[in-house]
Chain A
């Protein structure tokens, strides 16, 4: 299907649907808040004051635009297309997550909400939320699965230093999905004074829309930078997909450019065939979770399945509804790489370019290297380096059998 600007403008529709996906599957208590948020966002989106403040914060607080860097040595060693890196890891707080938290915290202030809640997996979104709350003087509560609290202790401490209260979630599988459940539960109870900053392009409408809008700065910059620096549009974009916010931010401004191929890389864990992975687009089916219809990992009875990934940020059984739609219409390709391949990608980028990517990002790196090797020298592959790897050093050291 050839996408046009008009088609994109019409999505999501009034009920928050991207084709068969998305929507607003929440308990009644939250409905009015979602309607208010949608209405206010529509108004503020075109408000020059709001936009100016958002742009100013992205420039002077986040440090945008982030560079588009030609990874010359990696390209040479790979022996195929030119590999370029969109350096979201250089943003303040070390990941793309802050683009969205800046935007949503601004919304919270405009709506007069004093209390902010967020869910987090790897802790990057939690840190980015705690950061903007510190700056705006908002009370901040971050929900994080007990498993993730354990494997991302550095980020937990960062959040605490920033003044956030971190709630360790003990229910279910004790990972990102359960953190999101508890954040929703908190929101229902405190809906009057609380703004829920969702970190990914999932959740009930209008969240997939507003997170995508705030993250689209990644793709817009990449487009300009690629034309200026490489002299052409990229031939392929590669981004990791958990919920899918960095991927949609990169893909969205290129959707109508037919020549640009897009690859979303899911967490293949121990291998798709083992069932121990976090790749709903590669191996799941449509269902309803966390307020939206989308591809999910579930058992034959509709219970949400446990996921596995070496990277906490990809360890999620669902995915943003817009990705589900892009998959079905064939506009983007969704693939997966295993834990081991991702770890190889991490080591490769670290040793060859001196850039240590987050384990989430390492999935995109691993796939992009495979892809670039099959392409020509005059072709351009852009990897969205969604985050930096400092937070994962403990995990890597542990795998290497080293105490740090």
Chain B
């Protein structure tokens, strides 16, 4: 069930702490919800916080998809609510890309 109440934030609020973890802009990444199977750009998540931490919920079912906490000396990331994270990347070409299908 999706709540009609809207949080104060969307996934763009996660850009800061996530940029400390990922070289690419993760707000453009697409996550797939483990609960309902819906796919959503991180920027479109319903985000609660920022304190004690950022909680990104599925726009489809309100399940928790990802959480980020910035402590004084670490960034903590929980991706337990997603089955996949697809990050747009430059076209693969030239030398073989590690991890790409042969």
Partners in one complex: no
